[in-house]
Chain A
Amino acid sequence: MNAGIVSYGAYIPKYRIKVDEIARVWGDDANSLKSGLMVHEKSVPDFDEDTATIAVEAARYAVKRSDINAQRLGAVYTGSESHPYAVKPTSTIVAEAVGATPVMTAADYEFACKAGTAAIQTCMGLVQSGMIDLGMAIGADVAQGAPGDALEYTAAAGGVAFIIGSKESEFVAIIEDTYSFTTDTPDFWRREGMPYPEHGGRFTGEPGYFKHVTHAAKGLLSKMGTKPEDYNYAVFHQPNGKFPSRAASLLGFTKEQIKPGLVVPKLGNTYSGSCMMGIAATLDQAKSGDKIFATAFGSGAGADAFSITVTDKIDEIRNKAPTVMELLSNPIYVDYATYAKHKGKIRLA
């Protein structure tokens, strides 16, 4: 029995801050940052938005897009590294807000930037075993970057929800297979009670991102007997524009294959939402029969690779909820002071 994507929904807050504005405050060279990171601006949450509200908006769009009866959802898993509560699930808030409660299971996931794809894999297992009818996997974050840290140029806000099922007549895309590669690699972490994460600087590149992404991707290609040229599109975790571009080139994927899913230059890194946002943006424009190769990466570290084939049902549902490009359009730009206020970086008495 196959698992597949029955629906999907994305949400991006409407505020943006430009890399130039952050660089102005810290005295950095904006042009070298923009060309080095391939990121020009990033999303900023409103005062009253957090991972739970972003997850709910994405989840509601996913339910709306395929007109799903939310009572069919037997599981809701939300992956994030910025859950609003340390103890008290985000997923119960989402489940209540979409009307999926009470006969269902729920839990929150944390695996840096790949907690959302870990939730997809869990849902695949549950629907394929027949334990549940439909499962919802969410990746959402209001990513944290300490003031003045390199992460501050990219740490963004956004979320994506996928509804995973096993009835082929409902699929907008079949997930043919998945493959994960996981090791204990301390490239990025946040200790309990600390407001901002720490990272190993350049150590996050080779032993973190590239090792795991390439091993997971090659593992899946070898397991399935497919080659990069068999795919129309490819999506890689996008902490910036440079890493996924280089990963694609190392693996033999072209710039054209990653183009539709490379949303990071105008969005920033939405952490748990990052790779899933790229898949959503690719589904927004893919045609029936198109094949999508996707690999998410989470520091700590691990990578989840997926092989996806789009069905003709995509055309029926695509425009029933906002596309990623629509969510990225008409942003409101804020200055650093407003951004700091929105993100709670200024502690008020």
Chain B
Amino acid sequence: MMSVPRFWRKQVARYNLIGTHCANCGAYYYPPRNMCPKCRREGKLENFKFSGKGEVLTYTVIHTAAEGFEKQTPYVLAIVKLEEGPSLTSQIVADPKDMSIGMKVRPVFRKLGESGERGMIYYGTKFIPE
């Protein structure tokens, strides 16, 4: 699990799907970047809130989970392509048998994990079928 400051730095981006948009070349990035890899010094990055609408590019069903996720198996992990362009990895809150490549998804606010019983709880975005 993550350290408290590491999660806190990513918190707003995770809660509200805030990434970056390069005003120079028009590219969108999630997670947010500090520099546009295409434009380099000419890049003009600004914060951008994604609509959250997307589609499943590909997915897998996890049966042997990492620590902390054991009781959620089987669950779906997918690469979601947002309508603005960037892709991200996310859990999909759906029955594995309802999944298909290309399906439309929308974001929901869920618990991503926690640092045991005494540690902090990590919240953020997952996706559900539209």
Contacts and interface: CB of A to CB of B under 8 A. Distances in A.
B85 to A, nearest CB: 22
A53 interface: yes
A187 B104 CA distance: 48
Nearest to A346: B71
B11 A96 contact: yes
B5 to A, nearest CB: 15
B42 interface: no
A9 to B, nearest CB: 13
Given A53-B123, A85-B121, A47 B71 contact: yes
Contacts of B21: none
A194 interface: no
Nearest to A94: B109
A49 interface: yes
A93 B70 contact: no
B14 to A, nearest CB: 10
B121 A84 contact: yes
Given A48-B126, A52-B123, A348-B71, A96 B112 contact: no
B108 A57 contact: yes
A133 interface: no
A54 to B, nearest CB: 9
Interface in B6-58: 11-12, 15-16
Nearest to A332: B95
Given A48-B111, A60-B109, A341-B71, A97 B16 contact: yes
Report which residue of A57, A97, A99, A348 has the largest number of chain B beta carbons within 10 angstroms of its beta carbon: A97
Given A47-B71, A53-B123, A348-B70, A96 B15 contact: yes
Nearest to B109: A56
Contacts of B126: 48
Contacts of A284: none
Contacts of B16: 97, 99
Contacts of B70: 348
B15 A48 contact: no
A346 to B, nearest CB: 8
A97 B109 contact: yes
Interface of A: 46-50, 52-53, 56-57, 60, 84-85, 88, 93, 96-97, 99, 341, 348
Interface of B: 11-12, 15-16, 70-72, 91, 93, 108-112, 120-121, 123, 126
17 contacts: A47-B72, A48-B72, A48-B91, A48-B93, A48-B110, A49-B110, A52-B121, A52-B123, A53-B110, A57-B109, A84-B121, A96-B12, A96-B15, A97-B16, A97-B109, A99-B16, A348-B70
Given A53-B111, A57-B108, A99-B16, 10 more contacts: A47-B111, A48-B93, A48-B112, A53-B110, A56-B109, A56-B123, A60-B109, A88-B120, A97-B16, A97-B123
